[in-house]
Structure 1
Amino acid sequence: MGKQSYWDAAGLVFVAAVWGANFGVSRLAMDTFDPALFTFLRFGLTVPFFFILLRLREGSVGVSPKAALQLMAIGLFGVTALEIAVMYSIKYTTLANASLLNVAPWPIFAALFAPFFARETMSRRLVAGGAAAIVGVTLVIVGGGEGIDFSSQHMIGNALAFGVSIVGALFNLACMPLMKRYSALRVSAWFILFGSLFLFPLTIGSWGKVDWAGLTAANGFAVFYNVVFCTVVAFIVWNRCMFRIGATRSNFFRYVVPAAAVAAGYLMFRETITLWQVAGALCMAAGLVWISTDKKARAD
């Protein structure tokens, strides 16, 4: 990988850390907002930002009718369905189960499905680094003390969490062909627009339950962080970097998310960090560094 690829890897780590820290930030708002409404605010409020920025940077905002249909499907499955599945997987299984099944298989499915969307190469370095990262993220999640429970009472939540990995990998890969024709900014703007439109009907009963006059600074910060950093900045940077170094390599950097979530829990809520989690974070970091030094570039 060249110098630009190292910057792309750094961009992916930054985005994953932002998403991981959001577990702590969003917890500040969950007592005030229904999860579906909060998710809609996160994506819906970004739509004007995306299209204004797109107009200023590129001079136009349009896509072809065929691309619009593709982006509509990506928004439906990659934003609406994916975010709902994440919420309900957390509701119907343990947080450790959801974290492990949401995150760990995602890059594996991305690698398996990648040949159907883009010509990407698999190297021994990528396999070895990915294996180390998988071991590391598993230690980060399982080492937290909550443990893994695959009993029948969590079957629905576990299935949803595992489905998130499959849908999420397909979501990332489906963007790749479109980003050969349009910028990451344009692709992100349109699938988030469609995803927000599909989310809105799910919030109809939630707006009247919020004490809008009583919103606190913490609530405002949580919304701002989700809109600006977790969505506008994160989606543009992630898609741009993913396109340049390949979806297979990029998705292993998602393993930074649970490590960042653990760090946010410690800093914001004084949650305990165990030695197993520290060891897992180091193992994961070593795997990601090994992947980022892979000299085999993505095949376009």
Structure 2
Amino acid sequence: MNNKWLNYGGLVLIAVVWGANFGISRLAMESFNPIVFSILRFGLAIPFFFLILKLTEGSVGIPWRLVPKLALIGLVGVTMLEIMVMYSIKYTTLANASLLNVAPWPIFAAIFAPLFTRESITMRLVVGGGISIVGVCLVILGGGESFNLSSENMLGNAMAFAVSIIGPLFNLSSMSLMKQYSALRVSTWTIVFGTLFMLPLTFGGWGQTNWAELGTGHYLSIAYNVLICTVVAFVIWNACMYKVGATRSNFFRYAVPAAAVVAGYFMFDERIALLQMCGAGCMAAGLIWISIERKRPDSNELPISAPPQGQIV
């Protein structure tokens, strides 16, 4: 199979994984403090990242000169992003949070891309992206909740919109490092630093969880978040994003809300409206239109080199 289609397939697969996690995490949030659940997700994933990195690349370190940059990326892209996602859901409606988190993300990725890469914006990308945006809006707003701009939701709306700005910057800044280091190495150390910054925020939250009452379902939700949504997803998404380009790959995030709607149907018996199915069709058409464009060679086609020798941590 053409490597291009493997990369696009990987992006769709991870978007579905993240979308299904909306339902799984909603169940888990009934028993866990949100930040505690997040640090369990990332903290427990770190040993797996280091193990895979050691087995596949022979070392786990990074040069000291990269520590400040990776620490900043981890602070913004893991700590801040996760907290904003959680509290945007808390302080606004699910429809608002979903729409403001997801829809503007690829647009900002396209705007910021020239600052980090040499990616070009083509007419096919604009048309396909526009069709996908219409589709994702229909998927999100076609359900029971409608977009609500009341004053009580403004804090959550602002946080959700901030996610769509911070997220692309996180993706693009990571891509610049992937020209020298593997997606796995970049993901590993980004998550390490992000988890360290998140740890102090959990103080006081551990006691809010009744650990004695946790059942098999809770531990399975943690395992899904750690192994599938974090370890597997971060590695595959970053690797595919590096090959496809940040602008194109971020449009595939539009599959997340569609997968979340399907998860709600199976896990919570939520109704899928005809408008949502039409939206899913529009979204799929837009993504296919983007995918069949022949990608022009650019700086992202540089091979990923082995880590240079020298001081590492």
CA distance in 2, matches of 1:102, 1:259: 14
Residues 205-263 of structure 1 show CA distances to partners (whole Å, capped at 9, x for unaligned) of: 12223222321011011000000000000000000000001000000000000000000
CA distance in 1, matches of 2:155, 2:213: 36
Alignment of 1:75 with 2:68, yes or no, is no
CA distance in 2, matches of 1:46, 1:226: 9
Letter in 2 for 1:206: G
Q: Report what 1:239 is aligned to.
A: 238
**1:275-286 pair list within 5 angstroms:** 275-286=274-285
CA distance in 2, matches of 1:181, 1:122: 24
Alignment of 1:28 with 2:27, yes or no, is yes
CA distance in 1, matches of 2:291, 2:2: 11
Any stretches of 5+ residues in structure 2 without a counterpart? 300-313
CA distance in 2, matches of 1:61, 1:272: 46
Letter in 1 for 2:73: I
Contact 1:245–1:297 (8 Å) recurs in 2: no
Alignment of 1:297 with 2:272, yes or no, is no
Letter in 2 for 1:135: V
**1:52-201 pair list within 5 angstroms:** 52-201=51-200
CA distance in 2, matches of 1:202, 1:129: 40
Contact 1:120–1:298 (8 Å) recurs in 2: no
Contact 1:117–1:177 (8 Å) recurs in 2: yes
CA distance in 1, matches of 2:154, 2:208: 31
Q: Report what 2:270 is aligned to.
A: 271
* Percent identity for Structure 1 against Structure 2: 62
Letter in 2 for 1:88: Y
Displacement after TM superposition at 1:124 (Å): 1.1
**1:198-277 pair list within 5 angstroms:** 198-277=197-276
Aligned partner of residue 272 in structure 2, secondary structure: coil
Q: Which moved more, 1:207-216 or 1:258-267?
A: 207-216
Aligned partner of residue 45 in structure 1, secondary structure: helix
CA distance in 1, matches of 2:86, 2:70: 23
CA distance in 1, matches of 2:147, 2:206: 36
Q: Which moved more, 1:100-109 or 1:199-208?
A: 199-208
What is the total number of aligned residue pairs between the two structures?
Answer: 299
Displacement after TM superposition at 1:64 (Å): 1.4
Aligned partner of residue 61 in structure 1, secondary structure: coil
CA distance in 1, matches of 2:111, 2:65: 26
Aligned partner of residue 31 in structure 1, secondary structure: coil
Contact 1:121–1:296 (8 Å) recurs in 2: no
Letter in 2 for 1:280: G
Aligned partner of residue 179 in structure 2, secondary structure: coil
CA distance in 1, matches of 2:208, 2:109: 39
CA distance in 1, matches of 2:292, 2:121: 14
Aligned partner of residue 147 in structure 1, secondary structure: coil
Residues 173-231 of structure 1 show CA distances to partners (whole Å, capped at 9, x for unaligned) of: 00011001100000000000001111111112122232223210110110000000000
Q: Which moved more, 1:259-268 or 1:154-163?
A: 154-163
Length-normalised TM-score, structure 2: 0.94
RMSD, aligned CA: 1.0
Contact 1:184–1:240 (8 Å) recurs in 2: yes
Contact 1:245–1:298 (8 Å) recurs in 2: no
CA distance in 1, matches of 2:53, 2:295: 32
Letter in 1 for 2:294: K
Letter in 2 for 1:294: E
Alignment of 1:42 with 2:46, yes or no, is no
